[in-house]
Every structure is written in C-alpha cells, then in structure tokens.
C-alpha cells in the first residue's frame, strides 16, 4: 500500500499563532493540513471559515484538507475553494443532494470528500462512489479534539474499502488517532490519518516531528 498520509488537525494547535503552528507541522513532515470548520449548529462548537483559511494559506504549500462540520455546506463551497482549500469534505448527514454537492466540489477544481458520523451507515455512499475522492470516517463524535477512539468504526472502514472495489479513493479516519489506534484503521483500509492532540504535543517542530513519526512508525509495513 502507498504511504499513509498524516493530517494534523489544527483544532489542537494554538489558535493564537495558527500560521506558525501550520508552518511547524509542515516542517515536522506532515502530509496534509486538516482544517476543522465548525458552525455551532451541526456540532456544538465553533471554529473558523474561509477568511481564516485564506489568511493562513501562505504558511504551507501542503494540501489543505477542510472538514466542514456545518449544516449548510452548499452555500459556501466556492468561498472555500477561493480561500485555497484543496480537499473539501462535507457530512453526508446534512446533504440532501449529496451527488450534486460532490459534483460541485469537483467542478470547482477541488477534491471531493464525504464524511460519516460514527453512527451513520456506509450505505449512503453506494451510489456516489464515482463522485468521491475521499471518505472521512469519524471515529469520535465530531465537535471536539481529545476524545476516545470508537472501535466499531474499524468494521465500517473494512466494509467501505470492499465497497470501493479498487477505486483510487482515500479513506481518512478522524478522531482519537494515536500510535495505538492507527494500526487498527490502516489494517482495515485507511490511507489517511487525522491526528490533533497526538501531534500538537510539546509545542516545537522537533516534538511535532517525533509525534508524527511515532504514528508513521506504528503503521509501517501494514
């Protein structure tokens, strides 16, 4: 399998120096920058949107991976693209016209992702498999960092990988990822790992590098 992508979630970073934190995980060797957008409605927490993403875009050339935990993603898709987002992931639970939303994201020139809450069945993916570039499997209930990994999602990842039948689609897993849980999800078919609190520990490029390497080492050769 190709190398697993590590996507530090800036939710666990120091928002007071967000650009520096993004620069630091970039230098520490991450693959993607995971941006948790929350609207205080779909999830009980509120973070940032396109203007902040645009303000920090210059801090790194790495893939900007936006996870939209919002009730009305369709309204702002173009703003995320203009802000410099590379991957736009919406939640299946809020998209009445998921096929249309995913097509629109691709039309904007971005990679299209769809995310499932821990309780959401993978069945809703069946008819959009040719419209997605990434499936984001939530392994905690969205809204906060630092929660415990929910192990039932491992079977879900296996089923999604089977359903994809060889399509070149990333399965990204988000929530409670550490060097202990990463092997479980990668063995099941995950190709990208979001990690917030496990990466942003120590407050320096060197510690971020060690934290990223610990996750990478845990899945080496799987």
Residues with catalytic annotation? 36, 174
Instruction: Assess contact for 62 and 33: CB atoms under 8 A.
Output: yes
Q: Which region holds residue 72: left if phi is over 0, alpha if psi is between -120 and 50, else beta? A: beta
- How many Å apart are CA 77 and CA 176, to the nearest integer? 28
When asked if residue 12 is in the footprint of ligand DX5 (CB under 6 A), the reply is yes
Q: How many amino acids of this chain bind ligand DX5 (CB under 6 A)?
A: 21
CB of 165 or CB of 170, closer to Zn ion: 170
- Report CA 85 to chain centroid distance, whole Å: 12
Residues 145-184 binding ligand DX5 (CB under 6 A) are 145-147, 174-177
The reply to whether 73 sits near ligand DX5 by the rule CB under 6 A is: no
Quote the DSSP letter at residue 17.
Answer: G
d(CA 111, CA 107): 9
Alpha-carbon span 53 to 85, nearest angstrom: 8
Task: Give me the least distance between CB of 222 and ligand DX5, in Å please.
Answer: 19
31 contacts ligand DX5 (rule: CB under 6 A): no
Neighbours of 141 (CB within 10 A): 14
Residue 211, both tokens:
């934290």
DSSP type of residue 43: S
Question: Cα separation of 45 and 173, whole Å?
Answer: 20
Question: Interface with ligand DX5 includes 36 (CB under 6 A)?
Answer: yes
Q: Which CB atom, from 59 or from 134, has the smaller least distance to Zn ion?
A: 134
Supply the minimum distance, in Å, between the C-beta of residue 166 and Zn ion.
Answer: 26
- Kindly state whether residue 143 participates in binding ligand DX5, applying the rule CB under 6 A: yes
Q: Which does 158 bind (CB under 5 to 8 A by kind): Zn ion, ligand DX5, none?
A: none
Summarize as ranges the residues that interact with Zn ion (CB under 5 A): 36, 67, 174
63 neighbors 84 (Cβ within 8 angstroms) = no
The reply to whether 70 sits near ligand DX5 by the rule CB under 6 A is: no
Closer Cβ to ligand DX5, 9 or 60, answer by number: 9
Rule CB under 6 A: say whether 6 interacts with ligand DX5.
no
- Which positions lie near ligand DX5, rule CB under 6 A? 9, 11-12, 34, 36, 67, 140, 142-143, 145-147, 174-177, 194-198
């Amino acid at each position: 399998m190709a190398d697993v992508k590590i996507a530090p979630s800036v939710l666990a970073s120091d928002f007071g120096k967000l650009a520096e934190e993004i620069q630091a995980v970039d230098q520490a060797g991450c693959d993607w920058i995971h941006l948790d957008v929350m609207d205080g409605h779909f999830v009980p927490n509120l973070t940032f949107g396109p203007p902040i993403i645009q303000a920090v875009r210059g801090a790194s050339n790495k893939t900007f991976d936006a996870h939209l935990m919002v009730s009305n993603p369709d309204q702002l898709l173009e703003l995320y693209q203009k802000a410099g987002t590379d991957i736009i992931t919406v939640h299946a639970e809020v998209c009445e016209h998921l096929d249309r939303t995913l097509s629109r994201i691709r039309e904007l020139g971005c990679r299209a992702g769809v995310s499932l809450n821990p309780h959401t069945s993978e069945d809703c993916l069946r008819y959009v498999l040719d419209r997605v570039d990434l499936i984001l499997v939530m392994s905690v209930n969205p809204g906060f960092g630092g929660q415990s990994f929910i192990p039932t999602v491992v079977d879900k990842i296996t089923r999604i990988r089977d359903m994809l039948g060889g399509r070149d689609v990333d399965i990204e897993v988000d929530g409670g990822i550490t060097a202990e849980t990463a092997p479980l999800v990668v063995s099941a078919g995950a190709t990208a790992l979001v990690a917030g609190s496990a990466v942003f520990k120590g407050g320096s490029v060197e510690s971020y590098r060690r934290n990223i390497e610990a996750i990478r080492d845990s899945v080496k050769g799987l």
